[in-house]
């Protein structure tokens, strides 16, 4: 089954049933529920759970519901068992890596899913394809933590030193260094381990990059005798919203973000400083996005009725899936081009897609940044690389541009 085969009404019904199953799981109720639907709709619910990587938490709700085909229950159960097992292995592996970082005096900071999973009431509820860790050398300046170094040049040198040490640590543990994402290094070890080691949490050009330019300014030390850091609760919540918006405003993000939000609020809402949170989100121009996301999250998982705005946002998230919807990405990039003529918008779109800004080059292709005259060769390289490594995506984008109408 693919998303293109599902009608809007089937998407809507399947989404609401999936949310209902997750409601049941989060409530931890053990009583039996009845959801009487046909087998084809249950196939749609399973597809949506898979597309959004929420099979594990869905199983914990579905096992208390009658009338679900056993073959679908069995698939959810298998994924749940795998998620629990992988979570256990990742925790052991993370601690081993952190121990080596401790020995080398490198600060480490679990972020995103690696942190949020701790707030879920049961293991296996939160799937993670990778672990995201912020790292570097850190010092205290004027009572706040910050990157080590007196100026930008010195900070970069210390960061390169930490990066070299980390690469050696990961190599000793059998990891292959995969690639540089502009703000992180990716390390993989078969069959399941995938670590994204960040030296920044946003890259140049992204919304709120300046706010998080030195994320260590928002850090606190978790334990006096360890080099592990974390956000205070309020800043962790703010970062969750900022990170969600980054994906939402690009190619979309799946429903896991509203589950994370609900779980965090359930644990922390009553003890957080909401004046501070609201002030920071307003300053970051995320207050309206936060309002809509929080409203949807609470409506979904507190057994409230969803209004039309809620349903539309839920369907957008559901159709985005965990890793985003590539057509959403093309549409947003296209709409950002300033022209009333589609032909001009297409030209501007191609320029932006092929020729990176100086800020983007600085983070992703530092060699090109130092030699900007090589930019045309980078554009050619990116085209060839896309055709070879991501042909489906390349030709999807090509067809997307061709199909745009040539109207004013």
Domain ranges of the chain: 100-231, 232-324, 326-407
Beta bridge partners of 184: 198
Instruction: Find the helix or strand (DSSP H, E) in which 214 lies.
Output: none
Tell me the per-residue pLDDT of 237-249, one tens digit each, with 9 for 90 and over.
999 999 999 999 9
Confidence of residue 281 (pLDDT cuts 50, 70, 90): very high
Angle made by CA atoms 324, 328, 329, in degrees to the nearest 5: 80
Q: 67: alpha, beta or left, given left = phi > 0 and alpha = psi -120 to 50?
A: left
CA 393-196-111 angle, to 5 degrees, is: 115
pLDDT tens for 333-352 read: 888 888 777 888 888 888 88
What is the rounded distance in angstroms from the CA atom of residue 249 to the CA atom of residue 239? 15
CATH architecture of the domain 100-231 equals 2-Layer Sandwich (3.30)
DSSP letter string, 329-359: HHHHHHHTS--SSHHHHHHHHHHHHHS--HH
Backbone angles phi, psi at 209, to 5 degrees: -60, -45
- Full-model pTM: 0.89
pLDDT tens digit string along 18-68?
A: 999 999 999 998 888 888 888 999 999 999 999 999 999 999 999 999 889
């Amino acid at each position: 089954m693919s998303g293109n085969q599902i009608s809007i009404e089937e998407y809507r019904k399947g989404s609401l049933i999936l949310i209902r199953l997750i409601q049941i799981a989060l409530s931890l109720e053990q009583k039996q529920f009845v959801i009487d639907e046909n087998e084809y709709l249950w196939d749609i619910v399973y597809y949506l759970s898979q597309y959004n990587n929420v099979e594990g938490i869905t199983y914990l709700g579905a096992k208390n519901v009658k009338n679900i085909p056993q073959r679908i229950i069995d698939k959810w159960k298998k994924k749940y068992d795998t998620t629990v097992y992988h979570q256990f292995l990742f925790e052991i592996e993370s601690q081993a890596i952190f121990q080596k970082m401790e020995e080398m005096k490198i600060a480490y900071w679990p972020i995103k899913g690696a942190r949020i999973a701790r707030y879920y009431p049961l293991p296996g509820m939160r799937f993670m394809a990778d672990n995201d860790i912020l790292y570097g050398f850190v010092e205290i300046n004027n009572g706040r933590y910050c990157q080590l170094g007196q100026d930008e040049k010195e900070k970069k040198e210390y960061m390169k030193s930490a990066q070299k040490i980390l690469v050696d640590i990961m190599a000793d543990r059998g990891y292959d260094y995969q690639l540089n994402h502009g703000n992180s290094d990716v390390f993989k070890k078969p069959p399941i381990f995938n670590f994204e080691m960040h030296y920044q949490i946003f890259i140049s050009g992204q919304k709120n990059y300046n706010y998080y330019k030195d994320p260590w300014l928002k850090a606190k030390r978790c334990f006096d005798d360890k080099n592990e850091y974390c956000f205070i609760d309020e800043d962790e919540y703010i970062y969750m919203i900022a990170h969600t918006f980054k994906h939402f405003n690009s190619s979309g993000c799946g429903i896991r973000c509203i589950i994370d939000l609900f779980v965090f609020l359930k644990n922390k809402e009553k003890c957080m400083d909401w004046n501070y949170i609201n002030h920071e989100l307003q300053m970051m121009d995320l207050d309206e996005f936060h309002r809509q996301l929080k409203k949807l999250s609470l409506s979904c998982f507190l057994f409230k009725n969803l209004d039309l705005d809620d349903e539309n946002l839920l369907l957008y998230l559901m159709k985005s899936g965990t890793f985003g919807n590539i057509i959403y990405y093309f549409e947003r990039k296209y709409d950002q081009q300033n022209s009333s003529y589609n032909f001009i918008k297409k030209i501007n779109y191609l320029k932006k897609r092929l020729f990176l800004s100086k800020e983007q080059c600085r983070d992703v292709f530092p060699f090109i940044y130092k030699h900007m005259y090589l930019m045309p060769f980078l554009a050619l390289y990116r085209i060839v690389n896309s055709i070879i490594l991501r042909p489906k995506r390349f030709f999807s984008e090509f067809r997307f541009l061709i199909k745009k109408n040539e109207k004013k």
